[in-house]
Every structure is written in structure tokens, then in C-alpha cells.
Amino acid sequence: MSILLERLAEIEARARALEEQLADPSLAGGSADFAKIGRNLAELRPILDATQRYRVLIHELEGAKAMLGESDAELRELAKAEMQRLTTECEALEVQIELLLIPKDPTDARDVILEIRAGAGGEEAALFAGELLRMYTRYAERKGWRTELLSLSDADAGGTKEAILSIKGSGVFGQMKYERGVHRVQRVPATEAQGRIHTSTVTVAVLPEAEEVDIEIKPEDLRIDVFRASGPGGQSVNTTDSAVRIKHLPTGVEVQCQDEKSQHKNKAKALRVLRSRLLEAEQARADAERASERRSQVGTGDRSERIRTYNFPQSRVTDHRAGVTLHSLENCMAGDLDELLGGVASHFAAEARKKANL
């Protein structure tokens, strides 16, 4: 307890220092430094609130201990019961504080670029890719996040070959980052006359959305091609050269968007996706653990590589990393993902606590 209080005292001192900086009249309210200090202070707020509650519980616990010396037997029994309750609350709050003390990924507060691609399984994989797109869109709606479809490539027989979705909201990347990987579906396709269960896969990549200040993209490093959009579309979509393909020459990263009628809008969307891919690549180079993250996120799309299985005949969804299994597949596909994603996040938080020796 004393060691934890010492660490919390250090954080409280850091917060006071940040508050003093914010109060400095020489620091302009609209400056980048002012905003950065404000964000740093906001990140400490959950720990400060938990610390305040923790100190109150400790004070009450000390008071209950003092009552054990009372001559009245009934008061002593009340003190014992109160000590048991307060000790339980303290222990639970200590676990919560330890989780809050785990170093945060600086990208957790970012918005997200979500990329969904059909993997192994042909038409069935494309159909499931479309269903995952709807699932994540509905989940975002439940959370009050804003979504924007940046790119969509439909499969010839229905479903989705590839979709790129922007999700904006508070701490989206921190809540969505564990969705990256291969998602496997097991079910009987509508075209299967014999009733046999087929296995297909969809790959999901979750990228923190980059801001213009994060990545400098030089115009001379880009090759921009315009072409006529293909596939279904509204008036003028398929009759003008509105589609845009951008290749970043130094890295070879290529992005294309064709959903808007305006070439300018398609270019803006493609640059957003390109910037986020370049940021992810830069972070991967800076961190050896993430050196091949994009490949590890999606693998090859092979059926044997999977983070999660959606079994429709048994209405079961299983996350293989966290060992979480729910028998509420229909609800999950409707965007009710809090229990599933919460279980996965708890698993990785526990792993982080082990690494941090908490």
C-alpha cells in the first residue's frame, strides 16, 4: 500500500506542475503547447480521481481499526464488518489503479482507419466482409462515434472485396486496436445445397488515423493517377475521370478511392488513408516489436490464422487470444460488442500488468 501511495503522490505532483503551467499567463490558450499540456493533464484525471477515492477509503479504514479498541462489544463487531467491507473496496480499487498506471499507447486516443478485406473463401468471404463492415458501423453508432466510408469495392456476386472506414470519437483506437487480425466465419452458405459448413476468412487492419503534422508528404514523392470509376454508382460516377490512385514513391504504398463524384474529394480521402498507412509504417520502424505489425495484423488471410471465430450454426463467437466465448452471435453481428471487446481488452491489460510487474 505504501509503495502504491508513493507512486500516486508522484503523479499528483506531476498534475500540480501541469496545472501551474496552464495557469502561466505567458502560455497562450490557443497554442499547441497549451493544448498538449491540457491533454497530458486530462490523461492523468482518471488516476487522480481514483487516488482521491483511495485516500478516502484508507482514512475510513484507519477509523474502523481505531474502533476495535472500543470497550463496547457491539461497536467492535460493527468495526470488524466495516473493515472487511473497506478492505474489499480498497483491494478492488488497487487493481483498478494498477491498470490505470500501465503506460498508455500514445496512439490510443486517436481516431481509426479500419480496413476490411475478404480473405480465403471466395464469395462467402466477401459476404462476411460486408457483414463485418455493418457490424463495426453499428457498434460505432452505439458508442456515439462518427463513421465515414472512405472506400468500398463490391464483389461481383455480392458482398465486399474491400472497405476502408474512418471512425472518429473519444479514444477509438484504444478500444478498437485489438480487432486487427484474421476473422474466421463458419456457416452454411446460402448457395450450399448439401448443407455443409464452410470456413472463410476476412482480414481486418486497424490503423491510428494520422494528422498532417505527423507525416510530411512531399508532392514530388507522389504519383497521382486519375481514371474512370468502375462498379455501381450514381449519376456521373462512371462517366468522368473522378477516381484517384496515389502512390507514395519512396515506400511503394498505394491507395485509391473512387466513391465520390468529385476527383478532389476522392484525392482528399486517399491522402487520409495514405497518411495513416505511412504513420503506421513509421511507428513500426521506430518500435522493433511492431516491425512487421501490418503483416501480423492480417497475415495471409489463410483459414488457419485467426484471432476470432464466428460459428453461426451454434450462435457462438470465440476470441482465441483471450479465451472469451459468447453464445450471442446475433447480438454481436448487430453491433453489441461491449462484452466481447471488454473481455479481450481485459486479457491484454492483464498481460500488460505482468510485463510491468504490477
Q: Looking at residue 138, which CATH number applies to its domain?
A: 3.30.70.1660
Q: What is the pTM of this model?
A: 0.65
> 261 and 123 share a domain?
yes
d(CA 29, CA 38): 10
Task: Give Cα separations from 58 to 39, 101, 305 (angstroms).
Answer: 30, 19, 48
Cα 352–Cα 353–Cα 355 angle in degrees, nearest 5: 65
> 268 and 329 share a domain?
yes
> 266 and 327 share a domain?
yes
Here the cell at position 111 is 481516431
Nearest to 307 by CA among 338, 276, 347: 347
- The 10s digit of each residue's pLDDT in 66-94 is 988 888 888 889 989 999 999 999 988 88
Domain end (from 101, 128, 159): 101
Average pLDDT, the chain: 85
Asked whether the predicted pLDDT for residue 208 surpasses 80, the reply is: yes
> 138 and 182 share a domain?
yes
d(CA 297, CA 36): 30
> 93 and 204 share a domain?
no
> 151 and 204 share a domain?
yes
Place of cell 495471409: 300
Q: Assess contact for 322 and 344: CB atoms under 8 A.
A: yes
> 148 and 295 share a domain?
yes
> 42 and 188 share a domain?
no
> 328 and 258 share a domain?
yes
Strands (E), the chain: 112-118, 146-154, 160-168, 181-187, 198-208, 222-227, 243-248, 253-257, 308-311, 316-319, 324-326
Domain end (from 85, 101, 117): 101
Task: Give Cα separations from 311 to 203, 292, 297, 327, 340 (angstroms).
Answer: 17, 29, 21, 9, 15
Question: How does residue 203 score in pLDDT terms, banded at 50, 70 and 90?
Answer: very high
Report the domain count for the chain: 2
Domain that holds residue 327: 107-358
> 94 and 117 share a domain?
no
Range 292-310 average pLDDT:
65
Here the cell at position 92 is 478492488
- The 10s digit of each residue's pLDDT in 238-282 is 556 788 999 999 989 999 888 888 888 889 899 989 989 888 887
What residues contact 319, with CB distance under 8 A and at least 6 apart?
307, 308, 325, 340, 343, 344
> 74 and 119 share a domain?
no
Q: How many CB atoms lie within 10 A of CB 84?
A: 11
SS3 state at 183: strand
Domain end (from 69, 86, 101): 101
> 215 and 272 share a domain?
yes
What residues contact 339, with CB distance under 8 A and at least 6 apart?
326, 328
Asked whether the predicted pLDDT for residue 10 surpasses 60, the reply is: yes
Q: Assess contact for 289 and 224: CB atoms under 8 A.
A: no
